[in-house]
Amino acid sequence: MDINWKLYTDKIEFMPEVIVGTVFLYILLIVYTRLFGLKSFSKMTGFDFLNTVAIGNLLAMSAATSSPSLFVGALLIGMLYLMNYLVTYVMFKSKTARSMIDNTPILLMKDGEIIEENLQKTKVTKNELRGKLREANVIRLSEVRAVVLETTGDVSVLHTSGEERMEDFIMEDVEGY
């Protein structure tokens, strides 16, 4: 069997540029993160997640393929940080903007009962719900106080083996509670 070494060595002459570009962009990400805050990489909203994916994609493309170029990639990444910061700022300052921009968490189960209407509304299947309950180590539906589909797409399972009552603050923003 012949090994095609060209697959491993093709364009090796660009290695210095790739290394310098990667180091530059990595340092730039640290600077941007220090300027705009760690929330830039959180997954508190769908926008935060989108920002993280887009930045990762631009970092990889700029460093490895130079398309976009290193400086254009750096500018685009900076713009994504800025846009995410501005959206976060507007949402923090305005309840109206927050309701227009961000999703609302929605209740999928309450006090051990599945809310079929909300499963259909969110397109969550019973199999997916079962999987999340197992991940949360639920062994009896009667232990489940609430299952919430969060604004990020994560599923929160709140359960207890006792009869403790949930504090209203925890569920204040959840649709259907």
Which pLDDT score is estimated for 4?
A: 86
Distance CA 141, CA 48 (A): 33
Show the domains of the chain with their CATH numbers: 8-99 (no CATH), 106-171 (3.30.240.20)
Report yes or no: 32 and 78 within 8 Å, Cβ to Cβ. Answer: yes
Q: Is the pTM of this model over 0.85?
A: no
Average pLDDT over residues 29-47: 82
Q: pLDDT of 123-138, one tens digit each?
A: 999 999 999 999 999 9
Task: Enter the DSSP assignment of 140.
Answer: -
Which pLDDT score is estimated for 129?
A: 97
Q: Does residue 158 carry a pLDDT above 80?
A: yes
153 φ/ψ sector (left φ>0, alpha ψ -120 to 50, else beta): left
Report yes or no: 29 and 77 within 8 Å, Cβ to Cβ. Answer: yes
Q: pLDDT of 45-78, one tens digit each?
A: 777 788 888 998 998 888 887 788 889 999 999 9
Q: What is the mean pLDDT of the chain?
A: 89
Share of the chain above pLDDT 90, in %: 49
Return the bridge partners of 114, or none. Answer: 109
Report yes or no: 105 and 173 within 8 Å, Cβ to Cβ. Answer: yes
Distance CA 31, CA 33 (A): 5
Q: Which two tokens stand for residue 69?
A: 């170029």
Q: Which two tokens stand for residue 167?
A: 């504090």
